Structure 1
Amino acid sequence: MTSGDLKLRQAEKTDADQIFALAREFALTFRPERQAFDDAFPQLLENEDALLLVATVEGTVRGYLLGFTHLTLFANGRVAWVEEAMLESAYRRHGIGRMLLEEFETWARSRDAGYVALATRRAAEFYGALGFEVSATYYRKMLTVTK
Protein backbone atom coordinates (compact mmCIF):
# COMPACT_ATOMS: atom_id res chain seq x y z
CA MET A 1 0.00 0.00 0.00
CA THR A 2 1.36 3.40 -0.93
CA SER A 3 0.31 6.67 0.66
CA GLY A 4 -1.12 7.70 -2.72
CA ASP A 5 -3.71 4.92 -2.40
CA LEU A 6 -4.89 6.17 1.03
CA LYS A 7 -7.32 9.05 1.53
CA LEU A 8 -8.96 10.41 4.67
CA ARG A 9 -12.21 12.31 4.31
CA GLN A 10 -15.52 12.94 5.96
CA ALA A 11 -18.01 10.17 5.37
CA GLU A 12 -20.66 10.54 2.70
CA LYS A 13 -24.08 8.94 2.24
CA THR A 14 -22.63 6.57 -0.36
CA ASP A 15 -20.26 5.10 2.26
CA ALA A 16 -23.10 3.63 4.32
CA ASP A 17 -22.81 -0.02 3.18
CA GLN A 18 -19.05 -0.17 3.68
CA ILE A 19 -19.18 1.53 7.10
CA PHE A 20 -21.99 -0.78 8.19
CA ALA A 21 -19.86 -3.81 7.29
CA LEU A 22 -17.00 -2.46 9.41
CA ALA A 23 -19.34 -1.61 12.29
CA ARG A 24 -20.55 -5.21 12.34
CA GLU A 25 -16.92 -6.36 12.57
CA PHE A 26 -16.24 -3.81 15.34
CA ALA A 27 -19.09 -4.72 17.65
CA LEU A 28 -18.41 -7.35 20.29
CA THR A 29 -21.21 -6.65 22.75
CA PHE A 30 -23.80 -5.32 20.34
CA ARG A 31 -24.86 -6.59 16.93
CA PRO A 32 -25.54 -3.54 14.76
CA GLU A 33 -28.91 -3.75 13.05
CA ARG A 34 -29.27 -2.28 9.60
CA GLN A 35 -32.47 -0.32 10.28
CA ALA A 36 -30.99 1.38 13.36
CA PHE A 37 -27.81 2.12 11.40
CA ASP A 38 -29.80 3.58 8.50
CA ASP A 39 -31.77 5.77 10.92
CA ALA A 40 -28.62 7.06 12.68
CA PHE A 41 -26.23 7.45 9.73
CA PRO A 42 -27.76 10.54 8.05
CA GLN A 43 -28.25 12.21 11.43
CA LEU A 44 -24.57 11.74 12.23
CA LEU A 45 -23.55 13.20 8.88
CA GLU A 46 -25.58 16.34 9.65
CA ASN A 47 -24.64 16.68 13.34
CA GLU A 48 -22.25 19.62 13.78
CA ASP A 49 -20.90 18.09 17.01
CA ALA A 50 -20.06 14.79 15.30
CA LEU A 51 -17.26 13.86 12.93
CA LEU A 52 -17.44 10.65 10.94
CA LEU A 53 -14.16 10.11 9.10
CA VAL A 54 -13.36 7.35 6.64
CA ALA A 55 -10.03 6.01 5.45
CA THR A 56 -10.23 4.75 1.89
CA VAL A 57 -7.66 2.69 0.04
CA GLU A 58 -8.11 2.75 -3.73
CA GLY A 59 -11.64 4.09 -3.18
CA THR A 60 -12.80 1.41 -0.74
CA VAL A 61 -13.54 2.28 2.90
CA ARG A 62 -11.07 0.32 5.04
CA GLY A 63 -11.59 2.19 8.33
CA TYR A 64 -13.65 4.79 10.06
CA LEU A 65 -13.70 6.95 13.17
CA LEU A 66 -16.80 8.43 14.79
CA GLY A 67 -16.28 11.10 17.41
CA PHE A 68 -18.06 13.98 19.07
CA THR A 69 -17.38 17.18 20.94
CA HIS A 70 -19.62 18.33 23.77
CA LEU A 71 -19.70 20.90 26.53
CA THR A 72 -18.74 20.01 30.08
CA LEU A 73 -18.70 21.86 33.38
CA PHE A 74 -15.64 20.19 34.93
CA ALA A 75 -13.28 20.73 31.98
CA ASN A 76 -14.07 24.43 31.48
CA GLY A 77 -15.64 23.90 28.09
CA ARG A 78 -15.68 21.36 25.32
CA VAL A 79 -14.11 17.92 25.28
CA ALA A 80 -13.88 15.39 22.45
CA TRP A 81 -14.85 11.75 22.66
CA VAL A 82 -13.96 8.99 20.19
CA GLU A 83 -17.00 6.74 20.15
CA GLU A 84 -15.88 4.25 17.51
CA ALA A 85 -12.60 3.67 15.69
CA MET A 86 -12.35 0.67 13.42
CA LEU A 87 -9.95 -0.59 10.80
CA GLU A 88 -10.35 -3.66 8.66
CA SER A 89 -7.88 -6.16 10.13
CA ALA A 90 -5.70 -6.39 6.98
CA TYR A 91 -5.13 -2.61 7.12
CA ARG A 92 -3.96 -2.36 10.72
CA ARG A 93 -0.33 -1.47 11.49
CA HIS A 94 -0.02 0.72 8.40
CA GLY A 95 -0.45 4.10 10.13
CA ILE A 96 -4.09 4.52 9.12
CA GLY A 97 -5.41 4.47 12.69
CA ARG A 98 -2.86 7.10 13.69
CA MET A 99 -3.91 9.28 10.77
CA LEU A 100 -7.61 8.97 11.68
CA LEU A 101 -6.93 9.95 15.29
CA GLU A 102 -4.67 12.82 14.32
CA GLU A 103 -7.33 14.17 11.96
CA PHE A 104 -9.92 13.86 14.74
CA GLU A 105 -7.59 15.71 17.14
CA THR A 106 -7.19 18.52 14.60
CA TRP A 107 -10.98 18.79 14.31
CA ALA A 108 -11.38 18.67 18.12
CA ARG A 109 -8.81 21.49 18.54
CA SER A 110 -10.65 23.57 15.94
CA ARG A 111 -13.74 23.21 18.16
CA ASP A 112 -11.77 24.28 21.27
CA ALA A 113 -11.89 20.87 22.94
CA GLY A 114 -9.62 20.61 25.99
CA TYR A 115 -8.85 16.93 25.46
CA VAL A 116 -9.70 13.78 23.50
CA ALA A 117 -10.84 10.64 25.33
CA LEU A 118 -12.12 7.18 24.47
CA ALA A 119 -13.05 3.93 26.17
CA THR A 120 -11.60 0.65 24.91
CA ARG A 121 -10.30 -2.70 26.05
CA ARG A 122 -8.23 -3.13 22.91
CA ALA A 123 -5.04 -1.66 21.48
CA ALA A 124 -3.59 -0.18 24.69
CA GLU A 125 -0.10 -0.06 23.14
CA PHE A 126 -1.44 1.79 20.10
CA TYR A 127 -3.22 4.46 22.13
CA GLY A 128 -0.27 4.80 24.53
CA ALA A 129 2.07 5.41 21.58
CA LEU A 130 -0.21 8.27 20.52
CA GLY A 131 0.04 9.93 23.93
CA PHE A 132 -3.17 8.65 25.49
CA GLU A 133 -3.04 7.82 29.21
CA VAL A 134 -5.23 5.59 31.33
CA SER A 135 -7.46 8.02 33.19
CA ALA A 136 -10.54 6.28 34.59
CA THR A 137 -12.53 3.11 34.87
CA TYR A 138 -15.38 2.74 32.42
CA TYR A 139 -18.82 1.78 33.75
CA ARG A 140 -21.97 1.12 31.84
CA LYS A 141 -25.50 0.01 32.56
CA MET A 142 -27.63 -1.54 29.85
CA LEU A 143 -31.02 0.10 29.49
CA THR A 144 -34.17 -1.49 28.18
CA VAL A 145 -35.35 0.47 25.19
CA THR A 146 -39.08 1.05 25.02
CA LYS A 147 -40.69 1.92 21.72
Structure 2
Amino acid sequence: MTSGDLQLRRAEKTDAEQIFALAREFAVSFRPERAAFDAAFPELLENEEALLLVATVDGVVRGYLLGFTHLTLFANGRVAWVEEAIIESGFRRHGLGRHLLAEFELWARSRDAGYVALATRRAAEFYKATGYEVSATYYRKLLRPKNP
Protein backbone atom coordinates (compact mmCIF):
# COMPACT_ATOMS: atom_id res chain seq x y z
CA MET A 1 0.00 0.00 0.00
CA THR A 2 1.07 3.60 -0.46
CA SER A 3 2.43 5.48 2.50
CA GLY A 4 -0.24 8.19 2.05
CA ASP A 5 -3.94 8.28 2.89
CA LEU A 6 -5.84 6.32 0.19
CA GLN A 7 -9.48 7.24 -0.41
CA LEU A 8 -11.93 5.86 -2.99
CA ARG A 9 -14.94 7.90 -4.01
CA ARG A 10 -17.15 8.91 -6.89
CA ALA A 11 -15.59 11.56 -9.05
CA GLU A 12 -16.72 15.16 -8.58
CA LYS A 13 -16.70 18.17 -10.89
CA THR A 14 -13.61 19.50 -9.10
CA ASP A 15 -11.64 16.39 -10.15
CA ALA A 16 -11.82 17.27 -13.86
CA GLU A 17 -8.27 18.66 -14.23
CA GLN A 18 -6.61 15.70 -12.52
CA ILE A 19 -8.73 13.11 -14.37
CA PHE A 20 -8.02 14.78 -17.72
CA ALA A 21 -4.27 14.61 -17.01
CA LEU A 22 -4.57 10.89 -16.24
CA ALA A 23 -6.70 10.28 -19.34
CA ARG A 24 -3.97 11.84 -21.46
CA GLU A 25 -1.42 9.50 -19.84
CA PHE A 26 -3.72 6.51 -20.48
CA ALA A 27 -4.42 7.24 -24.12
CA VAL A 28 -2.47 5.28 -26.70
CA SER A 29 -4.84 4.98 -29.65
CA PHE A 30 -6.45 8.39 -29.19
CA ARG A 31 -5.34 11.75 -27.84
CA PRO A 32 -8.03 13.14 -25.54
CA GLU A 33 -9.17 16.60 -26.56
CA ARG A 34 -10.12 19.04 -23.84
CA ALA A 35 -13.36 20.20 -25.48
CA ALA A 36 -14.64 16.63 -25.88
CA PHE A 37 -13.60 15.80 -22.29
CA ASP A 38 -15.36 18.89 -20.94
CA ALA A 39 -18.54 17.93 -22.81
CA ALA A 40 -18.51 14.28 -21.65
CA PHE A 41 -17.35 14.67 -18.04
CA PRO A 42 -20.50 16.26 -16.55
CA GLU A 43 -22.72 13.83 -18.47
CA LEU A 44 -20.82 10.87 -17.05
CA LEU A 45 -21.18 12.24 -13.51
CA GLU A 46 -24.96 12.36 -13.98
CA ASN A 47 -25.40 9.09 -15.90
CA GLU A 48 -27.05 6.46 -13.68
CA GLU A 49 -25.60 3.67 -15.85
CA ALA A 50 -22.04 4.98 -15.36
CA LEU A 51 -19.69 4.96 -12.41
CA LEU A 52 -16.61 7.19 -12.42
CA LEU A 53 -14.47 6.39 -9.39
CA VAL A 54 -11.28 8.08 -8.27
CA ALA A 55 -8.50 6.85 -6.02
CA THR A 56 -6.87 9.70 -4.15
CA VAL A 57 -3.68 9.63 -2.11
CA ASP A 58 -3.38 12.50 0.32
CA GLY A 59 -6.21 14.26 -1.52
CA VAL A 60 -4.66 14.05 -5.01
CA VAL A 61 -6.31 11.91 -7.72
CA ARG A 62 -3.81 9.18 -8.58
CA GLY A 63 -6.15 6.87 -10.49
CA TYR A 64 -9.63 6.49 -11.86
CA LEU A 65 -11.98 3.87 -13.22
CA LEU A 66 -14.90 4.51 -15.57
CA GLY A 67 -17.42 1.73 -16.05
CA PHE A 68 -21.00 1.14 -17.08
CA THR A 69 -23.83 -1.32 -16.67
CA HIS A 70 -26.23 -2.12 -19.46
CA LEU A 71 -28.93 -4.63 -20.30
CA THR A 72 -28.25 -7.62 -22.53
CA LEU A 73 -30.34 -10.39 -23.99
CA PHE A 74 -27.73 -13.17 -23.99
CA ALA A 75 -26.66 -12.75 -20.35
CA ASN A 76 -30.19 -12.69 -18.92
CA GLY A 77 -30.03 -9.09 -17.78
CA ARG A 78 -27.36 -6.59 -16.85
CA VAL A 79 -23.64 -6.81 -17.36
CA ALA A 80 -20.92 -4.36 -16.37
CA TRP A 81 -18.12 -3.07 -18.55
CA VAL A 82 -14.93 -1.31 -17.44
CA GLU A 83 -14.23 1.26 -20.13
CA GLU A 84 -11.17 3.00 -18.65
CA ALA A 85 -8.92 2.24 -15.71
CA ILE A 86 -5.67 4.12 -15.15
CA ILE A 87 -3.29 4.55 -12.26
CA GLU A 88 -0.63 7.25 -12.40
CA SER A 89 2.64 5.55 -13.30
CA GLY A 90 4.39 6.32 -9.98
CA PHE A 91 1.49 4.83 -8.00
CA ARG A 92 1.11 1.49 -9.79
CA ARG A 93 1.62 -1.74 -7.84
CA HIS A 94 0.41 -0.11 -4.61
CA GLY A 95 -3.14 -1.50 -4.55
CA LEU A 96 -5.03 1.45 -6.06
CA GLY A 97 -6.18 -0.47 -9.14
CA ARG A 98 -7.23 -3.45 -7.04
CA HIS A 99 -9.30 -1.20 -4.77
CA LEU A 100 -10.93 0.62 -7.70
CA LEU A 101 -11.83 -2.65 -9.40
CA ALA A 102 -13.25 -4.14 -6.19
CA GLU A 103 -15.40 -1.04 -5.63
CA PHE A 104 -16.66 -1.20 -9.22
CA GLU A 105 -17.53 -4.87 -8.76
CA LEU A 106 -19.57 -4.02 -5.64
CA TRP A 107 -21.45 -1.35 -7.60
CA ALA A 108 -22.04 -3.76 -10.49
CA ARG A 109 -23.40 -6.39 -8.08
CA SER A 110 -25.69 -3.79 -6.50
CA ARG A 111 -27.09 -3.16 -9.99
CA ASP A 112 -27.59 -6.93 -10.47
CA ALA A 113 -24.93 -7.31 -13.17
CA GLY A 114 -24.13 -10.91 -14.05
CA TYR A 115 -20.47 -10.23 -14.76
CA VAL A 116 -17.81 -7.57 -15.27
CA ALA A 117 -15.80 -7.43 -18.49
CA LEU A 118 -13.16 -5.19 -20.04
CA ALA A 119 -10.83 -5.00 -23.00
CA THR A 120 -7.13 -4.33 -22.54
CA ARG A 121 -3.75 -4.96 -24.09
CA ARG A 122 -1.98 -4.04 -20.87
CA ALA A 123 -1.91 -5.38 -17.31
CA ALA A 124 -2.91 -8.97 -18.11
CA GLU A 125 -1.14 -10.22 -14.98
CA PHE A 126 -3.05 -7.72 -12.83
CA TYR A 127 -6.45 -8.80 -14.16
CA LYS A 128 -5.61 -12.50 -13.85
CA ALA A 129 -4.48 -11.92 -10.26
CA THR A 130 -7.83 -10.29 -9.46
CA GLY A 131 -9.81 -13.26 -10.79
CA TYR A 132 -10.44 -12.25 -14.40
CA GLU A 133 -10.00 -14.68 -17.27
CA VAL A 134 -9.59 -14.28 -20.99
CA SER A 135 -13.01 -14.63 -22.56
CA ALA A 136 -13.09 -13.22 -26.09
CA THR A 137 -11.19 -11.39 -28.80
CA TYR A 138 -11.68 -7.65 -29.07
CA TYR A 139 -12.40 -6.04 -32.45
CA ARG A 140 -12.90 -2.40 -33.29
CA LYS A 141 -13.57 -0.24 -36.32
CA LEU A 142 -12.80 3.46 -36.25
CA LEU A 143 -15.76 5.56 -37.36
CA ARG A 144 -13.81 8.79 -37.46
CA PRO A 145 -10.11 9.52 -37.88
CA LYS A 146 -7.81 9.44 -34.87
CA ASN A 147 -6.61 12.75 -33.48
CA PRO A 148 -3.13 13.71 -34.71
**TM score, norm. by length of structure 1:** 0.96
Opposite residue 135 of structure 1, the aligned amino acid is S
Q: Which residue of 1 aligns with 2:51?
A: 51
Opposite residue 81 of structure 2, the aligned amino acid is W
Q: Does 1:7 align with 2:18?
A: no
Opposite residue 43 of structure 1, the aligned amino acid is E
Deviation at 1:23, TM superposition (A): 0.1
Q: Does 1:22 align with 2:9?
A: no
Deviation at 1:35, TM superposition (A): 0.2
**What is the CA–CA distance in structure 1 between the aligned matches of 2:70 and 2:112, rounded to whole Å?**
10
**What is the CA–CA distance in structure 2 between the aligned matches of 1:21 and 1:124, rounded to whole Å?**
24
Deviation at 1:144, TM superposition (A): 2.5
Q: Which residue of 2 aligns with 1:105?
A: 105
Question: SS at the partner of 1:109?
Answer: helix
Q: Highest relative contact order (Cα 8 Å, sep 6+), 1 or 2?
A: 2
**What is the CA–CA distance in structure 2 between the aligned matches of 1:95 and 1:20, rounded to whole Å?**
21
**What is the CA–CA distance in structure 2 between the aligned matches of 1:112 and 1:36, rounded to whole Å?**
31
**What is the CA–CA distance in structure 2 between the aligned matches of 1:126 and 1:74, rounded to whole Å?**
28
Opposite residue 46 of structure 1, the aligned amino acid is E
Opposite residue 93 of structure 2, the aligned amino acid is R
Give 5+ residue unaligned stretches, structure 1. none
Give 5+ residue unaligned stretches, structure 2. none
**TM score, norm. by length of structure 2:** 0.95
Aligned residues: 144
**What is the CA–CA distance in structure 1 between the aligned matches of 2:89 and 2:13, rounded to whole Å?**
23
**What is the CA–CA distance in structure 1 between the aligned matches of 2:95 and 2:144, rounded to whole Å?**
39
Q: Which aligned pairs between 1:1-147 and structure 2 lie closer than 5 A?
A: 1-2=2-3, 5-144=5-144
Residue identity over aligned pairs, in percent, reads: 81
Deviation at 1:107, TM superposition (A): 0.1
Instruction: Give the aligned CA root-mean-square deviation in angstroms.
Output: 0.9
**What is the CA–CA distance in structure 2 between the aligned matches of 1:6 and 1:91, rounded to whole Å?**
11
